[in-house]
Structure 1
């Protein structure tokens, strides 16, 4: 589907724990602003007052006892709020939205945990209301390496604390998404240094952003 040149551009960063998504989202925000773009930097779950409250509930493990389907529901509630009140309005104003995690994380995390694909896709349809990323950067890293990185920054959240096999399954799920949707997704080697990862991202964004916004 052709992109509307009057609309903004929606970039999401996905990947496993410790892959550097948050760091690279911040760096991309700075890069785009230096390029003269009007940028909104956000994250999931979160981005709005209600979304941040749901984030705390999810990452603390409060929802975990109710099962993966319940977690998927909470992610969908937060995502719909995020899309309707922050992401879509920004795109309608022609801004570039950079989001640390989005719907692919639910596909990978809750999908691997056993939530049926039809349930995930239905929740996605309700939450996204037609708003899809223009470019998804999947930061790929060996889960053992990523978890070692994550361990040095803070106490493990509800998802970081899962067993290694589950993290490996999530990695495969993200790579499967990238393979299935190559026009949207670009896989980034996140085993490199932060500067090298940023260079890959700059190249990927630079190759797509001008065409999407109708600039030369």
Structure 2
């Protein structure tokens, strides 16, 4: 299936006793804050939780990866053939590195936690990679690579996609007041936000309106978490944390 830009990723279902919850969205969407709230709620309900993130530090400290993140350029079919080919190969190489890191992280961290019956919260997942690479290159060029790797990646029990506008992302990142963490140009952010929305749609990711307050976003996410059979009995009481009207409306 395709929405004309991105293809659906056919991920591998898992039968582990634990639960995998992923959160994706542009910088400033509120992933970390929401993950903290969800983890806290699950911990209070007596569940063992693991929080993690991808790409791991193995990749984040790589100079080529940092260049991709910090350089807000866009590749396309326009321009000289040599330059376009060089950039395309770079994007494919970076994607392969990120996917290799994700497969290894699933093997050494995520799967053992799921085998123990833990609830695993993962800040960013393959949907982030699909959107980020797609923002910087032609998604059709990397689709075959993602398609071949997707079958080796676990399908989350629930995948959340936090949606905010480019303006909100820009404002929230600037509000951190960190000179080493500055938002990209609005022209790039506009493409990035559109890519994330398209990826969420084609993959059936649960879209959350993160323009709303954290309390509202938390209640919306919680309503999906308590519906997971393997933890429903333990999490049923958590519905009391949100007004009935708020949960029902999500």
| Superposition TM-score, scaled by structure 1 size | 0.80
Which of 92, 97, 115 is the aligned partner of 1:69? 92
Pair 1:188 & 2:194 matched: no
Which of 42, 66, 89 is the aligned partner of 2:52? 42
Q: How many Å separate the matches in 1 of 2:23 and 2:44?
A: 20
CA contact 2:226–2:232 (8 Å) conserved in 1: no
Return closer, same or farther for 1:204/1:173 CA change in 2, 3 Å cut-off. same
Return closer, same or farther for 1:131/1:3 CA change in 2, 3 Å cut-off. closer
RMSD: 2.8
State the secondary structure of the residue aligned to 1:53: helix
CA contact 2:22–2:122 (8 Å) conserved in 1: yes
Pair 1:107 & 2:130 matched: yes
Name the counterpart of 2:179: 155
Name the counterpart of 1:56: 61
The residue correspondences of 1:196-207 to structure 2 (distance < 5 A) are: 196-207=216-227
CA contact 1:43–1:100 (8 Å) conserved in 2: yes
Return closer, same or farther for 1:29/1:214 CA change in 2, 3 Å cut-off. closer
Which of 147, 169, 175 is the aligned partner of 2:197? 175
Q: How many Å separate the matches in 1 of 2:69 and 2:173?
A: 22
Return closer, same or farther for 1:117/1:92 CA change in 2, 3 Å cut-off. farther
Return closer, same or farther for 1:120/1:64 CA change in 2, 3 Å cut-off. farther
Aligned length: 204
Which of 85, 98, 103 is the aligned partner of 1:80? 103
Larger radius of gyration: 2
Q: How many Å separate the matches in 2 of 1:212 and 1:166?
A: 40
80-89 or 173-182, which deviates more = 173-182
Measured after TM superposition, the shift of residue 36 of structure 1 is 1.6
Which of 26, 35, 46 is the aligned partner of 2:36? 26
Unaligned regions of 5+ residues in structure 2, if any? 1-11, 72-86, 237-250
Pair 1:92 & 2:102 matched: no
Measured after TM superposition, the shift of residue 21 of structure 1 is 0.5
1:127-168 per-residue CA deviation (whole Å, 9 max, x = no partner) reads 7724121211111001111121012222355xx643323322
Return closer, same or farther for 1:34/1:120 CA change in 2, 3 Å cut-off. farther
CA contact 1:9–1:96 (8 Å) conserved in 2: yes
Q: How many Å separate the matches in 1 of 2:147 and 2:46?
A: 32
Unaligned regions of 5+ residues in structure 1, if any? 47-51
Q: How many Å separate the matches in 2 of 1:84 and 1:2?
A: 15
Q: How many Å separate the matches in 2 of 1:63 and 1:201?
A: 28
